[in-house]
Amino acid sequence: MGKRGSVLSQFQNFDAYAKTLDDFRIKTYYGAALTILSTIIIITLLWSEFNEYRVTEIKPELVVDKSRKEKLTINLNITFPKVPCYLLSVDVMDVAGETQNDLTHDIYKTRLDADGTQIHIEKATDIGDPTKDIVKIVNSTDPGGENYCGSCYGASPPESGCCNTCDEVREAYIHSGWSFNNPDDIEQCVREGWKDKVAEQSKEGCNVAGSVRVNKVAGNFHLAPGKSFQQNHVHVHDLQPFLSDGVQHDFTHEIHHLSFGPKVDGVINPLDGVGGAVTKGHYMFQYFLKVVSTHFYFLNETVIYTNQYSVTQFERDLTGKDHTHSHNHNHMSGLPGVFFNYEISPMLIINREESKSFTHFLTGVCAIVGGIFTVAGILDGFIYNAEKTFKKKVELGKHL
Ligand SMILES: *[C@@H]1O[C@H](CO)[C@@H](O)[C@H](O)[C@H]1NC(C)=O
């Protein structure tokens, strides 16, 4: 027993928290106040520490992008209040040589009346299909009997060999590289009242929205007037209707949305809500974008591949330059419209969501509790000593 007792008392020597006898302890009112105060401070600090622990953080990491053969999705939603849909074409070109003329893949053109109200929505079908807004209205009045085969007026005919509608003639003209500027001479167009339809729509605006998948290489896409076609391997636009249909069109636009990939919180698209205003028809807006791949790895195992971009913006007044009806804009010279040139950054940003370490949280808790009590203890001792000195002085004063 004695031996065990001595072992225990040896062990007790390790106690760093030797207690004083209760009899020697004095409880003071300011000590109580300090205790309550420090408890409140501790609780507040612990609460904020806990909140901070709960919040996950996104850790970015920059590496070289090693992906190959990827596609890039461009999502866009742009409104042109002064260009009717039938005049607007969307084209995408990339340095790999792929051109998608008059893109209608997943792009919707919505006609807007002069107040900007939606007229009707139509999903334009695949490239090359002449099912455009204006054709839809017109087709219903197509009288074409079974054996009817309209002349293409010398232009290269479509697959069927006939140009039965005004738009087929128009298409044929464009494929031959001719400008379509005299619908009055074309029987199909007169019969369909093409000119009236165009006049009726020429004051409208157009909203272009949708998404396009392109090769992940540098390229450009543009929204420009007139049908576009390849002529001697050069991409040209038929500007005739845009410049000379008696209505002043211009490329005032508002970009509601432009992004390269799925939406993720925290990725800001700098062009959303940006617009350009102009009152001249011959005016060019250019946006130069640098696209940076960004991958997100979230704690719940979802992975999102998206892109961020930065942008610089230029405008050019083309008034006074010669305007023949077709322009070569491989050299980016003088075509009115809105152009987006994009480049792909070689760097990839990996954003990993991480939770905070629990041991770190525990360390924080100990630091708060220990720290506050120590400070309170020092303060308490200070007040106690000050009070003692003060009392002594008062007592001395009495004796004098
Ligand atoms: C395009 O943006 C406009 C304005 O924000 C919105 O009303 C419209 O629904 C959008 N269109 C598409 C297809 O998202």
Structure tokens at 126: 């695949």
Cα maximum dimension of the chain: 135
Residue 126 reports pLDDT greater than 90: no
Ligand 1 pocket check: which of 118, 119, 257 to mutate, most ligand atoms within 8 Å of Cβ?
257
> Quick one: which of 342, 276, 354 has its CA closest to 308?
342
Q: State how far Cα 228 lies from the chain centre.
A: 28
Kindly give the number of the ligand 1 atom that is closest to the alpha carbon of 209. Answer: 13
Decide which of 129 and 79 is more confident.
79
Confidence of residue 2 (pLDDT cuts 50, 70, 90): low
Give the Å distance between the CA of 31 and the centre of ligand 1: 65
Average pLDDT for 270-280: 86
Pocket flag, ligand 1, residue 209 (CB < 6 Å):
yes
Residue 118 reports pLDDT greater than 70: yes
Which amino acid is located at 387 in the chain? E
Q: pLDDT digit string (tens) for 145-201? A: 456 777 778 777 777 777 877 777 777 777 777 777 677 777 777 877 777 777 777
Kindly give the number of the ligand 1 atom that is closest to the alpha carbon of 108. Answer: 13
Element housing 226 (H / E): none
pLDDT of residue 100: 65
Spatial distance between the Cα atoms of 291 and 308, rounded to a whole number of angstroms: 6
Pocket flag, ligand 1, residue 75 (CB < 6 Å):
no
Q: pLDDT digit string (tens) for 345-377? A: 999 999 999 988 899 999 999 999 999 999 999
Residue 132 reports pLDDT greater than 90: no
Ligand 1 pocket check: which of 112, 207, 258 to mutate, most ligand atoms within 8 Å of Cβ?
207
Spatial distance between the Cα atoms of 327 and 228, rounded to a whole number of angstroms: 10
Pocket flag, ligand 1, residue 77 (CB < 6 Å):
yes
Decide which of 194 and 325 is more confident.
194
Confidence of residue 323 (pLDDT cuts 50, 70, 90): very low
Give the Å distance between the CA of 107 and the centre of ligand 1: 12
Average pLDDT for 228-257: 74
Tell me which residue has its CA closest to atom 10 in ligand 1.
77
Structure tokens at 18: 């030797």
Give the Å distance between the CA of 343 and the centre of ligand 1: 26
E runs forming strands in 53-95: 57-64, 71-80, 88-94
DSSP 7-61: HHHHHHTT-SSPPPPGGG----HHHHHHHHHHHHHHHHHHHHHHHHHHS-EEEEE
Kindly give the number of the ligand 1 atom that is closest to the alpha carbon of 207. Answer: 1
Tell me which residue has its CA closest to atom 13 in ligand 1.
209
Phi, psi (degrees; rounded to nearest 5) at 119 = -95, -60
Give the Å distance between the CA of 122 and the centre of ligand 1: 14
Spatial distance between the Cα atoms of 395 and 383, rounded to a whole number of angstroms: 18
Contact 108/88 with Cβ under 8 angstroms? no
Cβ neighbour number for residue 286 with a 10 Å cutoff: 17
Pocket flag, ligand 1, residue 259 (CB < 6 Å):
no
Give the Å distance between the CA of 14 and the centre of ligand 1: 74
Tell me which residue has its CA closest to atom 12 in ligand 1.
209
Average pLDDT for 110-116: 80
Residues 6+ positions from 80 with CB-CB distance below 8 Å: 88, 205, 206, 207, 208, 223, 251, 252, 253
Residues 6+ positions from 36 with CB-CB distance below 8 Å: none
Q: What letter does residue 183 receive in the DSSP assignment?
A: G
